[in-house]
Amino acid sequence: MTGSSRGPNDPGRRDRIIDAALDVIAERGVEGTTHRRVAEAAEVPLGSMTYYFDGMKHLLVEAFTRLAESMSLRYRARLEAAGTTAEARAAVVEIICGPDLGSPRELVLCYELYAFASRNPEVLGITRSWMGASRASLSKHFDPRTARALDALVEGLSIHNSFDADPMPREDVAAVVAAISAGAGGGADGG
């Protein structure tokens, strides 16, 4: 059997294009993302772009879907590892303050996603689905109202801390998480 690993039957090409699109979006924003830049970053022929995607919007939807799914899986895994409400609170603090979620690159991508979603209903659906998944993960430990508040806190503090010259210290984040979730039932241990 002959053929190049990057030939027409290259099974990883579509994934490389999507990953490259996220890299280009992180570097140049949605407005600076072009087929040519993505093809160069993915090291694929420019024609591959139209072979795999109906247009730039299709590629952006796929890229932002991958971002949301990837981050959502890590978010869920951290919360599923918590066996008690106290551990779930610590997991929320880690999601906000830890290195696993919300890297500078991912935060830039989230900002781009939010801006793009505000004008594109299909992408808005991705963000709403992501929010729903986050709340569902939190609801395993907290009542629905508390889960919603904690999800908003995760988003808001992540954004604020990324811009603030003096980000909120972990111990203050923990105090806010504890205050929001005080008396919130629904967890494995109820407290």
* pLDDT tens-digit series, residues 102-134: 788 999 999 999 999 999 988 999 999 999 999
- CB within 8 Å of 189: residues ≥ 6 apart: 83, 84, 85, 86
Q: For the beta carbon of residue 59, count every other beta carbon within 10 angstroms.
A: 23
Cβ atoms < 10 Å from Cβ of 60: 24
Do residues 77 and 139 touch, judged by C-beta distance below 8 A?
A: no
Q: Which amino acid is at 92?
A: V
pLDDT of 91 > 50? The answer is yes
Q: CA 11, CA 4: separation in Å to the nearest integer?
A: 11
The pLDDT tens digits for 44-61 are 999 999 999 999 999 999
**Which H or E run contains 171?**
helix 170-181
**What share of the chain has pLDDT > 90, as a percent?**
79
Burial class (CB in 10 A: 0-12, 13-18, 19+), 23: middle
Structural contact between residues 124 and 118, judged by C-beta atoms closer than 8 angstroms: yes
What pLDDT, on a 0 to 100 scale, did the predictor assign at position 11?
83
Provide the 8-state DSSP code for 15: H
Q: What angle do CA 121, 137, 67 make, to 5 degrees?
A: 45
Per-chain mean pLDDT for the chain: 89
